[in-house]
Amino acid sequence: MERPAWAPRSIDISVPSVSRIYDFFLGGSHNFEVDRQAARRALEFMPGLPKIMQANRAFTRRAVRFAAAEGITQFLDIGSGIPTYGNVHEVAQEASPGARVVYVDHDPVAVAHSQAVLEGNQHADVVAADLLKPREILASPQVQRLIDLERPVALLLVAILHFVEDEDDPYAAVAELRDACAPGSMLILTHASYEGIPLPPERAEGAVDVYKDIRNPLIMRSREDIARFFEGYDMVEPGLVPMPRWRPETSPEDEDPFAFSGFAGVGTTA
């Protein structure tokens, strides 16, 4: 298997990666054949997966513009993945010149590609770290340099918490991050769920099993369980809703039915 020039030497290109599968669904080029094979298997069960990813990205852009309009100039995007067009730093810095953005991911390809994309951008950086180790994220030189935790921060957890099993207590990690941020901070979140998927559950489970097979279990939580991540936050209208229904810029009725799979929301701290 030939290793592309952009692939860090340290990674095993025979093992699929969630962030590279996501990149493939979005039409990106930073993925390997092993990722594409896993993605195609998942598509056999759930052909609308790329539409779900696109809805995630579209919601993220709207939420970042909303945060900037509310005066937030600092963005911490954990589980940021491989940069594609219209990424957080582009949207934030267009809406608020001088906005500071730190990306966090534990996939070496995502980190390496982010470093290349951000070269020369003094107000954006990337950290190789894990959501489940909030202290390491917050103590990193990149966060220390760019993010002032005494001022409001927009924390982005987009399409990441559904890869954290309950036994690893994602709720504790989210609460620790919330408590580290100043009052007036925001949580911008999306999460997969069986609710809203326009397929029988057993078909959707086939796609979930593909992720289980590559040792990245996809945890489908209920709306009620997803809402628990917002403990300590006041929900912004319209609350926790399917992605196309969160402050849409075009008619949600024009969206693909798969875009309504899962939930999105934004919360603020008092």
Q: Is residue 204 part of a domain?
A: no
Q: What is the pLDDT of residues 118-176, one digit of tens each?
A: 999 999 999 999 999 999 999 999 999 999 999 999 999 999 999 999 999 999 999 99
We report the CATH number of the domain holding residue 260 as: 3.40.50.150
pTM over 0.85: yes
Confirm whether 23 is domain-assigned. Answer: no
20 occurs within a structural domain = no
| Whole-number pLDDT of residue 3 | 72
pLDDT band at 9 (very low <50, low <70, confident <90, very high): confident
| Residues 6+ away with beta carbon under 8 Å from 72 | 96, 152, 153, 154, 184, 185, 186
Kindly state the average pLDDT of the residues 183-212: 96
- Please give the C-alpha separations between residue 221 and each of 163, 193, 199, in angstroms, as whole numbers: 11, 5, 16
Confidence (pLDDT) at 1: 59
Give the chain's domain count.
1
Residue 13 in domain: no
What mean pLDDT do residues 72-85 have?
Answer: 93
Decide if 242 is inside a domain. Answer: yes
Separation between Cα atoms, residue 75 and residue 267, nearest integer Å: 14
Cβ–Cβ < 8 Å for 23, 84 = yes
Tell me the two tokens of residue 104. Answer: 């966090």
- State the residue range of the domain holding 175: 51-198+220-268
Residue 6 has pLDDT above 80, yes or no: no
In a domain, 39, yes or no: no
Place of tokens 């600092």: 74
Distances from the Cα of 93 to the Cα of 124, 168, 209, 262, angstroms: 10, 34, 38, 28
| Residues forming beta bridges with residue 189, ordered by sequence position | 157, 265
Count of all residues that appear for the chain in the document: 270
Mean pLDDT for 187-202 is 96
Residue 265 sits at the vertex; the CA angle it makes with 259 and 268, to the nearest 5 degrees, is: 160
Is 154 a member of any domain? yes
Predicted local confidence at residue 10, as pLDDT: 74
Task: Quote the pLDDT of residue 60.
Answer: 97
Side-chain half-sphere exposure of 63, counting CA atoms within 13 A = 35
Give the pLDDT confidence score for residue 2 in this predicted structure. 67
| Chain mean pLDDT for the chain | 95
Q: How confident is the model at residue 7 (pLDDT cuts 50, 70, 90)?
A: confident
- Residues 15-66: tens digit of each pLDDT: 899 999 999 999 998 898 999 999 999 999 999 999 999 999 999 999 999 9
Q: 85 pLDDT exceeds 80?
A: no
Q: Give 224-257 pLDDT, tens digit per residue.
A: 999 999 999 999 999 999 999 999 999 999 999 9
Query: Would you say residue 149 lies in a domain?
Result: yes
